[in-house]
Amino acid sequence: MEIIINKNIILSNPETKSFLADAFYPKTDQLLPLVIFVHGYKGYKDWGAWDLMAEKFAEAGFFFVKFNFSYNGTTVDAPNHFEDLEAFGHNNYSKELSDLSFVLEHFLQYPQIDKDKIILIGHSRGGGISLVKTSEDIRINGIITLASVDSLDRFPKNDSLEKWKENGVYYVENARTNQQMPHYYQFFEDFKNNELRLDVERAAETTKAHFLIIHGTNDESVNIKNAEHLHILNPNSELFLIENANHTFGAKEPWENLEMPKDLKTATEKSISFIKEKFSN
């Protein structure tokens, strides 16, 4: 089967700014389910083994899209480096939801897409964003979370919050790049102004989409209780735990192996079988 790979498609969202997307899909006359991958905090579309995951989805018969959020710190010219820390600092959840909506509308125009089969896959914070979007848009009828948060309220508390408000910015060190990554106080203000919309628990509870929750039992960044909570909120969901898997399912940046790490392969194969089972018609 021939796989078509279109990398670094420029998308220009008038509500945010230009960013890049990739599309992986098989060459076929048949309509293909659209699968959109949503990266997490300090993530980007080319991180680690995401390309290898994308190829597996394309080989399985899906139109797979991954993209960089416009304010994730990468740029159109440097898609896999945090070149624009100022943009990173001005990111917020509303911008991410706007970008995700823009990606969806863009790729729904492609003639290869089966508009009755739209699935989001969100990693970490991207899982929370994906759940919110799925609850808002009835066209999305499948949602898979990978190591997802169960709340987007992941901000400093009490004195630290007051200090953030007073200073206008706080910094988080990127352990891999050693960059001091800013967060401007507008991030918290955007969350508070849109708190009902950004309620991941409510989104999980109310979504009618087919829902798969994948989490590693050794996740060092997002506790497994987040996955268990999402499953309790939506008893129609399926909870799939991967024993001893970490937050990135064994992947790291850079990933130089030609094969996916074992745990990410397990997560990918489970996701593919879940979609095929739920959308087999």
246 secondary structure, DSSP code = -
Tell me whether residue 216 is in a domain: yes
In a domain, 174, yes or no: no
Question: Domain of 68?
Answer: 3-152+196-278
- State how far the Cα of 248 lies from the Cα of 250, in Å rounded to an integer: 5
* Residue 180 in domain: no
Cβ neighbours, 10 Å, residue 33: 22
Q: From 122, 141, 12, select the one nearest 66 (Cα to Cα).
A: 122
CATH for 63: 3.40.50.1820
Query: Is 126 contained in some domain?
Result: yes
The pLDDT profile of the chain, 281 residues, written as one tens digit per residue, is 899 999 999 999 999 999 999 999 999 999 999 999 999 999 999 999 999 999 999 999 999 999 999 999 999 999 999 999 999 999 999 999 999 999 999 999 999 999 999 999 999 999 999 999 999 999 999 999 999 999 999 999 999 999 999 999 999 999 999 999 999 999 999 999 999 999 999 999 999 999 999 999 999 999 999 999 999 999 999 999 999 999 999 999 999 999 999 999 999 999 999 999 999 86
**Other residues' Cβ atoms within 10 Å of the Cβ of residue 163:** 11
Residue 237 lies in a domain: yes
- Rounded CA-CA distance 185/192 in Å is 11
Count: domains in the chain? 1
Phi/psi for 59 (5° steps) reads -65, -25
Helix pair 262-278, 50-59: axis angle to 10 deg: 30
Q: Is residue 167 part of a domain?
A: no
